[in-house]
Structure 1
Amino acid sequence: MSQKVNTVLGPVPVDELGKTLMHEHFFFGYPGFYGNSLYPVDKDEILRVGMEVAATVKAHGVKTVVDATPNEAGRDPELLKEIAEKTGLNIICSTGYYYEGEGAPAYFKFKQTLGQAEDEIYEMFMTEITKGIGKTGIKPGVIKLGSGKDTISDYEEMFFRVAGKVQKETGITIITHTQEGTMGPEQAELLVSEGADPSRIQIGHMDGNTDINYHLRTLEQGVFVAFDRFGIQGFVGAPMDKDRVGTLIGLIGLGYADQLIMSHDTVNHWLGKSPEFPDDLKGLVANWHPGNIFENIIPHP
Structure 2
Amino acid sequence: MNQGVETVTGAITADELGKTLIHEHFLFGYPGYSGDLTLGGMNTKEALETAETIALSLRSFGVETVVDPTPNECGRNPEFLKEVSDRTGLQIVCATGYYYEGEGATPYFKFRQQLGTAEDEIYEMFMTELTEGIGETGVKAGVIKVASSKDHITSYEEMFFRAAAKAQKETGAVILTHTQEGTMGPEQAELLISEGASPEKIVVGHMCGNTDPAYHRRVLERGVYIGFDRFGLQGIAGARPDAEKIETLSVLLKEGYGNQILLSHDTVNIWLGRPPEIPEPIAVQLRNWHPVHLFENILPKLNDRGFSEEELEDLFTKNPQQLFFQKQQADIR
TM-score, normalising length: structure 1: 0.98
- For 1:89-108, list aligned pairs within 5 A: 89-108=90-109
Q: By how many angstroms is 1:104 displaced?
A: 2.8
Q: By how many angstroms is 1:39 displaced?
A: 1.4
**Which amino acid in the other structure matches residue 77 of structure 2?**
D
Task: Please give the root-mean-square deviation of Cα atoms over the aligned residues, in Å.
Answer: 1.0
Aligned residue number for residue 287 of structure 1: 288
Aligned residue number for residue 34 of structure 1: 34
Q: By how many angstroms is 1:3 displaced?
A: 2.8
Cα pair 2:31 2:106 within 8 Å, conserved: no
**Which amino acid in the other structure matches residue 11 of structure 2?**
P
Cα pair 2:252 2:258 within 8 Å, conserved: yes
CA distance in 1, matches of 2:180, 2:87: 34
**Which amino acid in the other structure matches residue 109 of structure 1?**
K
Cα pair 2:2 2:172 within 8 Å, conserved: no
Aligned residue number for residue 84 of structure 1: 85
CA distance in 2, matches of 1:156, 1:2: 27
**Which amino acid in the other structure matches residue 12 of structure 1?**
I
- For 1:107-256, list aligned pairs within 5 A: 107-256=108-257
SS at match of 1:287: coil
Cα pair 1:2 1:15 within 8 Å, conserved: no
Structure 2: 5+ residue stretches without partners: 305-333
SS at match of 2:28: coil
- Give a deviation string over 1:238-269, Cα, whole Å, max 9, x none: 11001000000000111100000110000000
SS at match of 2:152: coil
Q: By how many angstroms is 1:15 displaced?
A: 2.2
Cα pair 1:2 1:13 within 8 Å, conserved: no
Aligned residue number for residue 16 of structure 2: 16
Identify, as 1 or 2, the structure richer in helix: 2
CA distance in 1, matches of 2:237, 2:80: 29
- Give a deviation string over 1:259-288, Cα, whole Å, max 9, x none: 001100000000000001101111100000
Cα pair 1:64 1:90 within 8 Å, conserved: yes
CA distance in 1, matches of 2:66, 2:227: 14
**Which amino acid in the other structure matches residue 226 of structure 1?**
G
Aligned residue number for residue 5 of structure 2: 5
**Aligned residues: percent identity?**
60
Q: By how many angstroms is 1:2 displaced?
A: 7.3
**Which amino acid in the other structure matches residue 179 of structure 1?**
Q
CA distance in 2, matches of 1:15, 1:164: 27
**Which amino acid in the other structure matches residue 145 of structure 1?**
V
Choose 232-241 or 266-275, whichever is displaced more: 232-241
Higher relative contact order (CA 8 A, sep 6+): 2
CA distance in 2, matches of 1:151, 1:256: 26
SS at match of 1:232: coil
**Which amino acid in the other structure matches residue 129 of structure 2?**
E
SS at match of 1:234: coil
Cα pair 1:98 1:145 within 8 Å, conserved: yes
